[in-house]
Structure 1
Amino acid sequence: MRANKYAGMCSECDTAVGIAAGQLIGIPGNWRTICLTCSPTPPPRGDHPGWHHTALASLDFETTGVDPLSDRVLSYALLDDRGHEFSGLINPGVPIPAESAKVHGLTDEALVGAPVPADALAEVIAWVQDLIERGVGLVVFNAAYDLTMLRAEASRWGLPQPDWDRLLVVDPYVIDWGIERGGLGPRRLTDVAAYYDVLLDNAHDATADARAARNIAYEIGFRHPSVAAGELENLMIRQVVWYAGRAEDWNHYARRVGRSLDDPAGWPLVQVDGAAERIA
């Protein structure tokens, strides 16, 4: 959750809350300010069974922008289920926008001499396919973005696609929405990490983000028995439903204010009908 930008009254207890002295919760078009005393906290950890007791892998990209079909991967972090971490840089062959470089610090100069996409991403795809073959769950925060970008990059460079239909994805971004229904305000990786008291010491570094995403997934499992119950295959089905609900919730607001709409069927991969020409 994020600090409130404006002074107001706590929506729970009517205490006066100064600027940045409380937190912002709610959904677009219906934000509320609460004081720190009333700030929600996650439930305690439990000892229930579930998928959170299995070793999970994690993946994160830093990229040139926010469009998974047209933007490019600049760095990657691959954390496997056996305790190994792999990371690398990629020279995308296109200029890196200044606004993106300000976020993650990756510049054209920093990537001179880095591997080209076809070589680096072939290793990433092989790593993902190995997880698929072994039935290992892959944690990706906002999977619809990262995985769609990987699919687009594979198409762009003529690389084989992973067997997407068999990939088991654990997306803390979507699961968090399924639990809270968007009621806790903005929920970027930094927000959800803070809520679950997960260390994120270098946001927008691929390795740090991948570690935090996986630890959030574990915390969600330990703290929410109903979410942890069952196999990852069952969780996949629930995430599809939750993502559709999140998209419809956003679209209700977006239609009123003239913002772009999300595809309710766009998880874990954005649908490509009519969009393939954007992959160039």
Structure 2
Amino acid sequence: MATWYEGRLAGFDLETTGVDVENDRIVTACVVQCGGGHPTQTFNWMADPGIEIPEGAAKVHGITTEQARAEGRPAGEVVEQLVAALAESVLAGLPVVAMNASFDLTIVDREARRHGVQPLVDIVGDDLRVVDPRVLDKKIDPYRRGGRKLEDLCRTYDVRLDGAHSADADAVAACRVAWRIAAKEPRIGEAPLSALHLWQVSWAREQAKSLADYFRRTPGKESWADGVRTEWPMIPAQREAGEDS
């Protein structure tokens, strides 16, 4: 029986205006379908986010406000097409592979609601299966020193990263890291996707609680603990006043 990682994967990554999932915006996005013995298909978008791109964010991903306004497409159009591409992958039975998935999927959810696009969770419901290399890596090697960013995991698992902080390169690299972890760890690689998804919900919660505990006992970082979220693969949207409960 074929394992999930030997089949088709849907890599997903965003570059954004910042790290606030409730208020920051998508600048570039990529969904890449790869593996499974078929040619790689890559779908890329650049959006005009409608707000200024801070200098710090532009230094990370290389897209300035001026470039996004000149070359980017309307944010609502990009979000609609991005959600459609993700939904198509999910409904075809592909796992969405995303590094630090709760950030990217939450941003997409908020952007969809901001622009009047049907959110991904409303389209695919319980069919969503996510593989997060960051969560998997922390589970199988919790005490390894050093960073846990995508570049770090690429070094750890001997994966080529063709251009860090471009959405398409990061999406492909996340798939490669997930593949290496799954091939190395039979419990992960041979698990049914539905079970692996649920395990990651639990593992991500435990990892977040551990990080919050670390902040609480670290002088100068105590206040950071309150900002640690435990939800995975997406932080649920807050209902607006007047919505049905």
TM-score, reference length from structure 1: 0.77
Matching of residues 34-53 of structure 1 within 5 Å: 50-53=3-6
Asked if 1:271 corresponds to 2:236, the answer is: yes
Selected match of 2:96 from 138, 143, 154: 138
Distance 2:75 2:125 in 1: 20
Deviates more, 1:65-74 or 1:223-232: 223-232
| C-alpha distance 253-217 of structure 1, shift in aligned 2 (>3 A) | same
Identity %: 33
Distance 1:65 1:209 in 2: 17
- The residue that corresponds to 1:215 in the other structure is 176
Report Cα offsets for 1:123-173 as digits up to 9, x if no partner: 111111111221111100000000000000000001001225321111101
Deviates more, 1:197-206 or 1:160-169: 160-169
Distance 1:57 1:180 in 2: 24
Alpha-carbon RMSD? 1.8
Selected match of 1:178 from 139, 143, 146: 139
2:109 partner letter: R
Selected match of 2:22 from 69, 89, 107: 69
2:44 partner letter: S
Q: Which has the larger radius of gyration?
A: 1
Residue segments in structure 2 that go unaligned for 5+ positions in a row: none
| Cα deviation, residue 183, structure 1 | 3.1
- The residue that corresponds to 1:194 in the other structure is 155
2:208 partner letter: A
| Cα deviation, residue 228, structure 1 | 1.1
Distance 2:145 2:189 in 1: 21
Matching of residues 73-84 of structure 1 within 5 Å: 73-81=26-34, 82=38, 83-84=40-41
Three-state SS of the structure 1 residue aligned to 2:175 is: helix
Three-state SS of the structure 2 residue aligned to 1:89 is: strand
Alpha-carbon contact 2:53-2:65 (below 8 Å) kept: yes
1:196 partner letter: Y
Residue segments in structure 1 that go unaligned for 5+ positions in a row: 1-47
